[in-house]
A and B are shown apart, each in its own frame.
Chain A
């Protein structure tokens, strides 16, 4: 995400540079001759489109979340308040207590905002599940991707074949992988349980087991996307000059130390780009849950903000409340991505 203003400024200053083809500097260039203006047909349409349809839509969604918009008709923008947020995040302390593991407490009461005929539940449960899924999936996926990349980078035979095999699951749609893992998790015939029972343990119910639902979803997503993390890391590894390894070796660094001090720091950019994409995929897990549980009711232990949001918006037509959940989701995504983007920016690597 480049800052368009900075881009603009750079273009402005560029126009004073001596051209490489030997042209002379024309300090009296008119406004219309500036590169930034003359190149406007190239950058302006996408700039406007993205501005309107991405950032404009985000802003509109935030405004919508402040209204009481519900049912048919059009929203009333004259009376904006934070009522939906109060209902969604009601009882913050009890809410947190009710979702944290190993703490049994904090009963959360449903609230009745002024627009609602029925009371609405706060979003603590689905928010917590979203965080668990997002963090768990992303961390495991990155770690596994890195491990695979390091292995594949060792100039093994059939490297291309392995790379393709690991990457292939990513080309499948969520609907396919969800149905596929539904079979894999089958208690009687699924591969996972066949392995478990052949090791002498009893068969385990996975799909409707409240303790295993979310990990099972995360596992399936890791299967699908660790190949992608591997490719990104592999590109990062290949970009590290051999001289760095040689220098580290000469200085007597052990393999572990070399990876920690030389390799990992240089994979920062790769990590950020993989992280951003994986976070987005974790948020998109809606499709996966929708296919796996034939609808947007995956059950309380796997309910994420995305399923909750669609339920509120499309099943209940609580548009404003759905927007509120969308904003919470958006803020959560920002919380994860922003620190990395910012650190990159500070290092001038962005």
Chain B
């Protein structure tokens, strides 16, 4: 029996030791994993990152692979970044790429990943970000690329608006890649014709309200397709109306924190009037559904950035100038309200040379045409050959080159720092509950305090 017992004890100890070893290994794995896995949120990225990391040692001397993080993981954005990278690799076959789409495809997600990596002092080469005031969020982490990337070619050919937005406190740190316009009013041609409305004749936000009334009286269609489950569509509508009513000076005073409450409130009141003409279920739909209403002829107008046109491109028998059309939002002619994406340069860069090569490439007209042909936006350079873009983009590009001013968008992060934008978003989340223009106007003006 004792023999038996001994045998048992021995095997139990062996098991214990084995388990202990496994436990220790697991513990080490956890700690180690925590270190190597700094972009921990970025489950997809890891695999890609490792692969490119493995490959780099052998093939390309001291050129480290570029770690590009972006949230364009589907749709036209994905096609656009794909085209850009393909073009870059043809031009620079020696530079390796470790592209890392962040899952979830939301910009907020991407920012968190970047934030975590910067906290642990492990920045990627570059990532997709709004330029302008948004740059201040990771301000200290960027490094000047005035010498290496912003050569005369770029400074001479970028227009003033995008050039201003590419700077952080007067220093170039990022390369804008594309421009979406915010102050558009898209419409379904047959619906407005049926109602007897001529959108080109509208000249102020108040005219839009009267046109909506006319559409409501004469057709069964929803006059103004808008979603109100999230705040962003309403914020960008309000900023467009503010630009129309207060002019570029009033708009710039607001984004500089010296907004006139009366102007802010007047723009909000116009939005309140417009809200009478939203779809009844605006709070339960999203932008795609609102846009589809225009495409199906169930709605007349939609105010959106020109990504709305991307959806129209994909629908057969729904063509620019025939079934749908666009006017500059009434009252904002001469302004090109900017929303841009850009690739900044991080200090402590994991691949300094390769990143600068890539950013220089992004600054070329050729790269911007490749990207924007897929994205539906326009190149920020004034000398791009836009014949490869579609007719709508070419018209927008003409507008852009002839614009008197290119103010930055508030909703799309160019005009105000993130903390102020959070306050503005909060004000609009309250506005969507009660449409109280006076209270919201006060909150908006107070957002800068």
Interface residues of A (CB under 8 A from B): 21-23, 38-42, 44-45, 48-49, 71-74, 110, 117-119, 182-183, 185-190, 203, 205-210, 213, 292-301, 303, 311, 314-318
Interface pair A294/B283, CB less than 8 Å apart = no
Interface pair B429/A298, CB less than 8 Å apart = yes
CB contacts (< 8 Å) of A21 on chain B: these are 5
Interface pair A208/B138, CB less than 8 Å apart = no
Chain A proximity of B306: nearest CB distance (Å): 20
CA distance A213 to B426 in the complex (A): 16
CB contacts (< 8 Å) of B1 on chain A: these are 22
CA distance A316 to B27 in the complex (A): 34
Interface pair A72/B280, CB less than 8 Å apart = no
Interface pair A314/B419, CB less than 8 Å apart = no
CB contacts (< 8 Å) of A183 on chain B: these are 284
Interface majority SS on B: helix, strand, loop or mixed?
helix
Interface pair B5/A208, CB less than 8 Å apart = no
For B230, give its contact among A185, A190, A294 (CB under 8 Å): A294
> A187 with B16: in contact, given A295-B108, A299-B430, A317-B418 (CB under 8 Å)?
no
Chain A proximity of B343: nearest CB distance (Å): 19
CA distance A22 to B285 in the complex (A): 72
Chain B proximity of A213: nearest CB distance (Å): 7
Sample of 27 A–B contacts (CB below 8 Å): A21-B5, A41-B20, A44-B23, A45-B23, A45-B24, A49-B30, A73-B140, A74-B119, A118-B449, A187-B284, A188-B279, A190-B284, A208-B228, A208-B283, A210-B433, A293-B230, A294-B232, A295-B425, A296-B108, A297-B230, A297-B426, A297-B428, A297-B429, A311-B426, A316-B418, A317-B418, A318-B419
> A23 with B5: in contact, given A72-B119, A72-B141, A316-B422 (CB under 8 Å)?
yes
Q: Which of B394-449 contact A (CB under 8 A)?
A: 418-423, 425-426, 428-430, 432-434, 448-449
| Most chain B CB atoms below 10 A, which of A110, A117, A297, A303 | A297
Interface pair B422/A315, CB less than 8 Å apart = yes
Closest to A184 in B: B284
Interface pair B419/A315, CB less than 8 Å apart = yes
Q: Which of B96-139 contact A (CB under 8 A)?
A: 108, 111-112, 115, 118-119, 137-139
Closest to B24 in A: A45
CA distance A299 to B443 in the complex (A): 13
Q: Cβ of B231 < 8 Å from any Cβ of A?
A: yes
Interface pair A314/B433, CB less than 8 Å apart = no
For B425, give its contact among A203, A210, A297 (CB under 8 Å): A297
Which range holds the interface residue count of chain B? 35 or more
Interface pair A300/B429, CB less than 8 Å apart = yes
Chain B proximity of A192: nearest CB distance (Å): 11
CA distance A187 to B115 in the complex (A): 39
Q: Cβ of B55 < 8 Å from any Cβ of A?
A: no
CA distance A293 to B426 in the complex (A): 12
Interface majority SS on A: helix, strand, loop or mixed?
loop
Q: Which of B334-385 contact A (CB under 8 A)?
A: none
Q: Cβ of B325 < 8 Å from any Cβ of A?
A: no
13 A-B pairs besides A74-B119, A188-B280, A294-B286 with CB distance below 8 A are A40-B20, A41-B16, A41-B19, A49-B27, A117-B419, A118-B419, A186-B284, A207-B283, A213-B433, A294-B230, A295-B231, A298-B429, A300-B429
CA distance A317 to B134 in the complex (A): 12
CA distance A146 to B138 in the complex (A): 51
Interface pair B281/A293, CB less than 8 Å apart = no
CB contacts (< 8 Å) of A298 on chain B: these are 429
Q: Cβ of B48 < 8 Å from any Cβ of A?
A: no
Interface pair B229/A205, CB less than 8 Å apart = no
> A317 with B284: in contact, given A23-B5, A39-B16, A299-B432 (CB under 8 Å)?
no
Q: Cβ of B26 < 8 Å from any Cβ of A?
A: yes
CA distance A24 to B310 in the complex (A): 82
For A119, give its contact among B139, B421, B428, B449 (CB under 8 Å): B449
CA distance A318 to B423 in the complex (A): 13
CA distance A296 to B232 in the complex (A): 12
CA distance A314 to B111 in the complex (A): 8
Q: Cβ of B17 < 8 Å from any Cβ of A?
A: yes
